[in-house]
Amino acid sequence: MMETLIITALNGLSLGTLLFLISMGLTTIFGVMGVLNFAHGSLYMLGAYMCLQAMRLFHNFWLGLLVAPLAVGLLGMAIEVQFLRKIYDRHLTLQLLLTFAFLLILDDAVRILWGAGYHTVDPPRLLAGTLKVLGRPYPVYSLFILVLGPAVGLALWAFFYRTKVGMIVRAAAMDREMASSLGVNVPKLFTYVFFFGSWLAGLGGALAAPLRAIGPAMGEKIIIESFIVVVIGGLGSFPGAFIGAMIFGLFDAFGIHFVPRIHMAIPFILLAAVLLWRPRGLFGEEI
């Protein structure tokens, strides 16, 4: 019984870790720029396709893991510079519509470029097998994600709270105008932030590639889950994204194990509960 609980917890945490990386990008873009990026899930999907493409070209997963997020980040940057930037002053709904348009465009673009079928990426040989955890086989790749996620999280925390650039980003998130009048080049900063958020989505996608079937619309589900995570954790909050993702992952895994019939409702019950009792989310700032 104990082993089952621990294995289930590990399953939940590895799902949570992947969600954390993706939600982190979503919440950073929202926190700093105030943009709710509907296309974030599609950028995740694109990360997986880019990883697939890199594998086809170089036959090396690690290179794919490096290149795919960069490519997605650069695309995000182009979207920000060419489109988003022009409508910051307009009504919020226009931003939503624009990012939603990119969701549709990207979903169709991958279908045209890579076909409608399913693709798979093999994990690198080093991470392919299983490891005995409490006497049961557990996929090494899931353990790898479990370790990598918090490492990336820690690096991000150090970046935001221990470097000057990180401080500037936080300042701009808090008060755009004040930061601007203190000499921060806010438009440029936004471009970098969008690059960074897209990079995280791409990283999530590239990491998911060896686990999941790569196909059109693979971002549709993750974007909803990520939204739930950031609402639970608090929109724009970094620790919130981490805790929210872990709560989501654990509730999902234990829900599947113990109450499979209603587990699908669990994330939404969580969401409703948070909105009722703490609308700003666990770590969100006072609205």
Partner 1 sequence: MRRGGVFVVLLVLALFLLGMPQGAVAKKPLKIGAVYILSGAFATYGQFARNGINLAVDEINAKGGILGRKVEVTFEDSKAKPAVAIRAFRKLVYEEKVDFLVGLDSSGVALGVVPTLPELKRILIITHAATPDVTGKKCNKYAFRISVNLNQNVGAGARIAAKTGAKRWTTIGPDYAFGHQSWEYFQKYLKKLVPDAVFMEKVAFPKLATEDYSTYITSIMDANPEGVFISLWGGDLVNFVRQANAYGFFKKGYKVLMSLGAATEVLYALKDKMPEGVWVGTRYWFLANPSPTNKRFVEAYKKRYNAYPSYNAQNAYTAIYALKAAIEKAKSTKTEAVIKALEGLRIEAPVGKIYIRPQDHQAILNVTWGKTAADPNYPIRILKPMVTFSGEEVTPSPEETGCKMK
Q: How far is the CB of 90 from partner 1 (least distance, A)?
A: 29
For residue 36, count CB atoms less than 10 angstroms from its CB and return exposed for 0-12, middle for 13-18, buried for 19 or more: middle
Name the residue among 10, 25, 48, 40 with its Cα closest to residue 140.
Answer: 10
Question: Does the protein bind partner 1 through residue 119 (CB under 8 A)?
Answer: yes
Stretch that binds partner 1, among 50-58, 80-88, 197-205, 249-257 (CB under 8 A): 249-257
In sign, the C-alpha dihedral spanning 64, 67, 70, 75 is negative
- The whole-angstrom separation of Cα 73 and Cα 192 is 9
Question: Does the protein bind partner 1 through residue 212 (CB under 8 A)?
Answer: yes
Question: Does the protein bind partner 1 through residue 257 (CB under 8 A)?
Answer: yes
Stretch that binds partner 1, among 89-97, 149-157, 217-225, 279-287 (CB under 8 A): 217-225
Q: How far is the CB of 76 from partner 1 (least distance, A)?
A: 22
- Give the length of the chain: 287
For residue 192, count CB atoms less than 10 angstroms from its CB and return exposed for 0-12, middle for 13-18, buried for 19 or more: middle
- The whole-angstrom separation of Cα 166 and Cα 146 is 25
Tell me how many residues contact partner 1 (CB under 8 A). Answer: 41
List the one residue from 165, 220, 259, 279 that touches partner 1 (CB under 8 A).
220
Stretch that binds partner 1, among 155-163, 255-263, 266-274, 278-286 (CB under 8 A): 255-263
Amino acid in position 45: M
Q: In whole angstroms, how far apart are CA 29 and each of 62, 130, 143?
A: 26, 36, 28
Strand partners, 119: 214
- The whole-angstrom separation of Cα 166 and Cα 172 is 10
Whichever of 222 and 235 has its CB closer to partner 1, that residue is: 222
Whichever of 14 and 237 has its CB closer to partner 1, that residue is: 14
Per-residue x/- track, 8-37, partner 1 (CB under 8 A): x--xx-xx----------------------
List the one residue from 59, 115, 158, 178 that touches partner 1 (CB under 8 A).
115
- Are 129 and 225 within 8 A, CB to CB? no
Question: Does the protein bind partner 1 through residue 217 (CB under 8 A)?
Answer: yes
Q: How far is the CB of 255 from partner 1 (least distance, A)?
A: 8
Question: In the complex, which residues of this chain contact partner 1 (CB under 8 A)?
Answer: 4, 7-8, 11-12, 14-15, 107-108, 111, 115-120, 122, 130, 136-139, 141-142, 208, 211-213, 215-218, 220-222, 252-253, 256-257, 260, 264
